[in-house]
Structure formats: structure tokens, C-alpha cells
Chains A and B, each alone.
Chain A
């Protein structure tokens, strides 16, 4: 770690700090200014043009009583939990690749995982939308061909779900009770290229002597993963977790494309970002949308703080 320089020396070399001024200006203009503008406009009734009316905390009061907004946090909570579980396949994939003895095969698998990244995310979303098509989709086709549909119908009868019926194609995005399961299923098998690469980088930094020590102690594969590999990649896992939570909380592109601007049937797929979009661009309430954004910001800040404080990394 570098030693800190004295303030006297720093002031003497003040010209060097001019090199970071352009970066600060750019960050200020493109990152901090929009946020400041959102905070400013959250105190106004503003429809996006130049006319605005100062209304103080009214937008925040309205947001506190907005049922749809608070319901959207339920949806996001379920998606965050499911996305955390969906980290597991990426970790397992990274471990499997790391444990390959052949460097060539490691390389090939790495390329295989990364190649799908060149497909734009939008294309993947549309492909999944097609998968969910009730009459032509691959998912229903698979369920029918394997007999799993019949099993689901039987299970539905036992559990009283009332969503799977004989002779009626499953409307994954058209049935309110199936919307959240569809949002969870989306992206199967949940192996994200970026995640795999991050974990792989972490695993490759583990020294071979640690593995040798574990083998001498008679550790099994599972024990190696549980006591050696997983703890030593916790830094990467924590980073992924923070990025994932922020992305899930802020994101609404998936819901917008799959379900439309109202969050689908019954509004079951409504998430905070989509509700902000709805209020801003459909209802023309930009000031209110800014206030919703402030709530979301505070929520994300709180979760990040909890994550930093309680998800500790044993060094």
C-alpha cells in the first residue's frame, strides 16, 4: 500500500491535479447532475416541459400512499432472492472450468461461455418471449412432448393453483399467477458470462499450495469447494451480489419488453423502475417519477450498506 503524501507536498504539486479535472467534470455532468436534477424536480409537479409547479413534499406523500409502488417492491424482493440463487450456476460453472486439468479445454470452455455475450441482450429477450408463446413457444412444446404438462395439471389439481388446465395452452405471460415464475425462469440455465469470468479470476488466484494442503488433509471435492474455494472467492461473490442487487432493483427493461408498460395482467410484473417509467411517460408525471426514484435510491443505499456491513469477507 502506498504511503500518503503530506498536504504541503500535495499543494506544492497542485498542477498535477488538473489532470483529473476533465474526468471530474464528465462524471459531474453525466452522473451527478442528472441525479441532482431528479432530486430538484421531485419537489415539483412537472410534466417534462418547462412548466413546473413547486409542491414541496406532496410527491413524496403521494408515493407513500401509492399501493402499486409498494407492491412493486414485493416483486423486486422476490426477484432479488431468486437472482441470488441464480448466482449458484455461474459459481459452479467457474469451479468446474477451474478444475479442468487441460489448459486447452479450460480455454475452450471459457470461450464457449463468453461467446453468447456477442448476442445483444435484446435479442435474447425476444427469443425468450418466443419461448413463452402459448401456441408456438418452445417451452410449452417441451412440456407437451415430455408429458410434464400432464404432471403440472395433476399437481395443479392437488394444490388448487388454477393455472394449468388440460387442453388449454399455458399462457406464461398472460396468466397473472405465472408472471413471477416466468420472470424467474427467464435466462435458464442462468450461467452469466461476466459472473463466470469474475469467479474464475478469483479461483485462479488461489495458490496450488492451498489445494495441496487440502488434499493432504483428505478433503473431498465438495469439501475443497466449501472450505477452500468458496471462502476465497467471497470478495468476487460480494461484488457480484452488490451489482446484482443494484441491477435488479433499478432494472425494468426485462419486464417492459416481456409484459408491457403496465406490468402485464393484473400488474403482477410491476417493478419500481417500470412504475417510474409508467408515471413519467404515460401519465406525464415526471416530478412524481423523480420522487419515486429518490425512494428507490434510498432503498438501494440501505441495502448496499447492509451488504457491506454484514456480508464480511474473511481475509
Chain B
């Protein structure tokens, strides 16, 4: 009897949960507003799980929903690690949300196929800036980077209106800093950074405290090290970059490697690797096996004096740390540094920082008009003010006031161009994999620069070529697709000779296609030269 009662209670609870869930879903879908309009739900997907963004999106959504009571905004936050898989599944399955954050996992093909470009709107004022000084300003000019962060240079279209800037900083535990050095002055040069690290070690030993100078992980460590590395390859980059370009793009860097203009033994590269190793020794042993959260935990638990991370982690770190937080630029070696000054011009400039965190409008979304309007709202000064106030992230719209806590993260123009990256960058997946799988040789206590360079020297040419092959195939697809559109535009333009907008579009597209073809032929030439090397 008792058993029957318990079984009945169990089944009853299950049935109740089911009914409640079903009722919620049904009521959500059949909502109507007070004026009888059918409620529209817009879905917004992103990967920003840090403290700050979700709350900011919620507030921005609330502000928009007040203006549009018949619209409901629903946030979908996807973990970064699985975002690429989720993205492709959603797009190919045609179940994608109305607005999706563009970035991780996005390729030009996916953009062109599944997203609607917003290029026609960039030269018009944003209607949501009415009543502000930007009321008559074209959308493109309302962003601090001229909306370059939303522009795809392979497709020659704007796909997003980015709402935030990002920079990389060093975070300091000011209380620990004061205990170790007697002052809260942040290190401004590499020499001061090294001095602080050495003092931290001495302090830890003297007090038997498990404190490390820099909290590292496979996420934070390379972030700092790659920046330091590129400060050593500035002069090398100046030598290999063709006239007219300021920085080496991946094809230029790869081509220069394959033409023996640089390799892992080039003095600048070696100096960069030694700098990476030196800094790595100030991180906790075995940091390369740790994840981002492990390093953050170490820092907020007061077991590290510093951590390098982006402005996107500022709110999370601030909320979790129970101590005074200092924020400073990365201290680069100066030209006077006896060991690392020879190949450097100086610290890196952030003048080229583009705004990021933009949402793309999916083609298959059921409410495109409303979604586009919300996208423009997100790009407005009013929404951007909410964004920066709530999230603590850098604003992207001109005229938005950055709070006191955001000021240290604002991009600083002073400095020099960055040099080459050892991983080449730009989606060279196999080359990056070789670097990642041998990185332990560079930074482990018993490793060294020689062990690392010996390991990657033989593999790099092969992986560069395989990455170039992949790049050639992608570019060929882009060019082929572009040729079709170019043909159509040309035909239309020839029949509507007086349509200047169409002619302008054709000219722009021709430029885009020429650029893509140029990239295609450059990469293909490199690949062919590797197959049949010239004597």
C-alpha cells in the first residue's frame, strides 16, 4: 500500500512538472500584447558568459521592449567552447536565432550564405540616434573605428554593427603589490615587471606563501607571451612587409617564411621566444594544462599578483576579487633593455583597435524587419551607454561616456606597430596546432628555446603549405561566388546605365573580387613554388 502511495506521488509530481512546463511554453508562444498585436519573440545568441554582458543585454532588451511592447527579446548564451559546433548546426539546420554574434566559428562562406549584409544602411543615420548629437551622422561614422569591426574585407560587406571595443591589460592585486613592494605603483616597463616578479618570488619564499608573480593558463599565458613576442619582431616585420602595408598579413608572413626570409632561428624570432620563456617562468608550473578559469581563480584567491587578460574579463575579475584591483598596459621591453632592446621599436600601439562584439542578421529569421530594427537599436548611442554602464566593457559609439572603471581599458594610440606572430595567425589551423602541441617545450622548467625550435623547425614548412592549400581553396570558392555576382551586376548595370547606385555597387564588387583574386593568386603561387622550388 505504502509503495503504491509513493509511486503515485512520484508520478503525480512528474505529471505536474510536465503540465507546468507545457503551459509555460504554450502561453509564451501565443502571447498577445494589450493592443491585440501578436507578440514577436526575437532571439539573440552569443557566447559572452562573463559577468556583465548578459546583464547588459537584458537591460538593453528591456529598454527596447519598452519602446516596442509587442516584441520580446530572448537571450541565448552558448559556451564559447561549443559555439562553433552550435553555430554550424543552427545555420545549416535553418533554426538559427534572429541575431547571432559574429566571431568564433564564422567563415566567409557561412557569412555570405546565411547572413544579410547591412551595407545599404551604413551611409544612413541610425534612426535610434534621434535626439542625440549623432542624429544626422551616417551609421558608419558613429563608431570610433568607422565601423571597420563590422566590415568583412573578403566579402566587401558590412555584416554587423559592433557594440564594444576590446583591449588586453595586466590586472594587479594592489594589496599584494603593496605588501611586496611597499607601494601601489604599477610597473610601466618590462624591467619593472621583472623586478616585481623577482620580489614576489622572494616574498613568497620568505613568508612560505604559495604566491606566484603571474597567474597563467593555456588561455592567459599565450595572450601575454604573443604580445611580447610581437614586440621583438617589429623590425623584422618592417623588413618583410611590402610597401603600402603596415603589418604582415598571414599570407605575407607565411610567404616570407617559405622564401627563407625568416625562420625559427632568425635572431628577432629567437629573441621573442626567449622573452616568452622568461615571462613563462614567472607563471605557476604546469600552467599550460590549466584553463582560463583556473588562472582567474588563482588570481582572485590572492595567490598571484598579476594576471593578463582582456577588457572582457574586467567585470568578472572585479566582482570575484575581494581586493583592490589595479589595471595597467602590458609593460614591453624598451630599446634600452640590454637583452631585448635590440630588435624592438617599443610598446605596441592600440590605434588599430577595432570595435567587436557585433550581431549578424540571419537570412532565415522569421522577423527580419524587427530584428534589423533591434540591431540598429543596439548600435545606438543610448543602447551603447546602457551597454558600457552595465557590462563595464568599452563602448564603441562615439559620444558614449566611459565610466571610471572602463577608462583604464580605453585603447591607447601611443606605441608602435606590432610585429610578426610566431603562429602566423589568420586561421592557419595546422601551424597553430604545431605551436600549441610543442609550446610545453618552450615554457616548462626543463624545456628551452632550443628544444622548442628543434621540434617545430621540421614541421612548420609542411603545416604552412597545408594551411596555404586550405586558404587557396577557400579563396577560390570566394572568387567563384564573386564572379557569379559580378556577372549579374555587370549585366544589370549595362541595362540600367543611369543607375548610379548600381554602377557604384558594381565598382565596389569589382574591387572586392580583384582583392580576393589577388589573395588567391598570391597564396597559389606560394604553394606552387613549394611543389617545384626554383633553383
Contacts and interface: CB of A to CB of B under 8 A. Distances in A.
Interface of A: 45, 47-51, 129, 132-136, 162, 165, 168-176, 259-260, 262-267, 278, 281-285
B285 A171 contact: yes
B77 to A, nearest CB: 17
B105 A134 contact: no
B506 to A, nearest CB: 24
A15 to B, nearest CB: 32
The 4 tightest CB contacts between A and B, nearest first, are A171-B286, A134-B286, A173-B289, A265-B440
Contacts of B437: 262-267
Nearest to A132: B289
Interface stretch (B119-127, B149-157, B324-332, B469-477): B469-477
A283 to B, nearest CB: 4
Contacts of A133: 286, 290, 294
Contacts of A168: 285, 445-446
B525 interface: no
A265 B452 CA distance: 12
Contacts of A285: 470
Interface string B469-488: 01001100100010000000
A246 B474 CA distance: 35
A35 B285 CA distance: 44
Contacts of B412: none
B473 A45 contact: yes
B477 A51 contact: yes
Given A50-B113, A176-B440, A171 B433 contact: no
Contacts of A173: 286, 289
B291 to A, nearest CB: 8
Main SS of the interface on chain B?
Answer: helix
Contacts of A176: 440
Contacts of B285: 134-135, 168-169, 171
B286 A51 contact: no
Contacts of A169: 285-286
Nearest to A165: B446
A174 B92 CA distance: 37
A47 B109 CA distance: 9
Contacts of A162: 446
A262 B436 contact: yes
Contacts of A50: 113
B422 interface: no
Nearest to A265: B440
Contact of A135 (B85, B105, B286, B438): B286
Report which residue of B290, B291, B481 has the largest number of chain A beta carbons within 10 angstroms of its beta carbon.
B290
B444 interface: yes
Given A48-B92, A51-B109, A266-B437, A174 B84 contact: no
A278 B433 contact: yes
A111 B360 CA distance: 50
B172 to A, nearest CB: 20
Interface residues of B, number: 38
A49 B444 contact: no
Interface in B444-462: 444-446
19 contacts: A47-B109, A48-B107, A48-B110, A49-B92, A51-B477, A133-B294, A134-B286, A135-B298, A169-B286, A171-B286, A171-B288, A174-B289, A175-B440, A176-B440, A259-B289, A262-B436, A265-B437, A266-B440, A282-B429
Contact of A49 (B110, B291, B436, B440): B110
B470 A283 contact: yes
B22 to A, nearest CB: 21
B473 A134 contact: no
Given A134-B286, A284-B470, A260 B218 contact: yes
A49 B474 CA distance: 12
Contacts of B439: 265
A261 B218 CA distance: 12
Given A171-B289, A262-B436, 4 more contacts: A134-B289, A173-B286, A175-B440, A260-B436
A162 B85 CA distance: 39
Contacts of A165: 445-446
A282 B433 contact: yes
Nearest to B284: A135
B432 to A, nearest CB: 8
Contacts of A135: 210, 212, 284-286, 298
B88 interface: yes
B111 to A, nearest CB: 10
Contact of B433 (A51, A170, A262, A281): A262
Contacts of B212: 135
Contact of B107 (A136, A170, A172, A284): A284
B430 interface: yes
Contacts of A260: 218, 436
A168 B287 CA distance: 12
B200 to A, nearest CB: 15
B468 to A, nearest CB: 13
A266 B438 contact: yes
Contacts of A263: 437
Contacts of B446: 162, 165, 168
Interface string B209-220: 010100000100
A281 B85 contact: yes
B436 A281 contact: no
Interface in B61-109: 84-85, 88, 92, 105, 107, 109
Contacts of B92: 48-49
Interface in B237-291: 284-291
A263 B434 CA distance: 11
Contacts of A132: 289
A136 B107 CA distance: 39
Nearest to B439: A265
Contacts of A265: 288-289, 437-440
Contacts of B440: 174-176, 265-266
A26 B65 CA distance: 40
A260 B292 CA distance: 12
Contacts of A283: 429-430, 470
A168 B107 CA distance: 43
A249 to B, nearest CB: 21
Contacts of A51: 109, 477, 481
Contacts of B291: 129
Nearest to B84: A281
A237 B421 CA distance: 53
A267 B456 CA distance: 13
Contacts of A264: 289, 437
A26 B46 CA distance: 31
B440 to A, nearest CB: 4
Contacts of A172: 286, 289
A262 B459 CA distance: 15
B470 A174 contact: no
Nearest to B218: A260
A135 B440 CA distance: 17
A266 to B, nearest CB: 6
A134 B430 contact: no
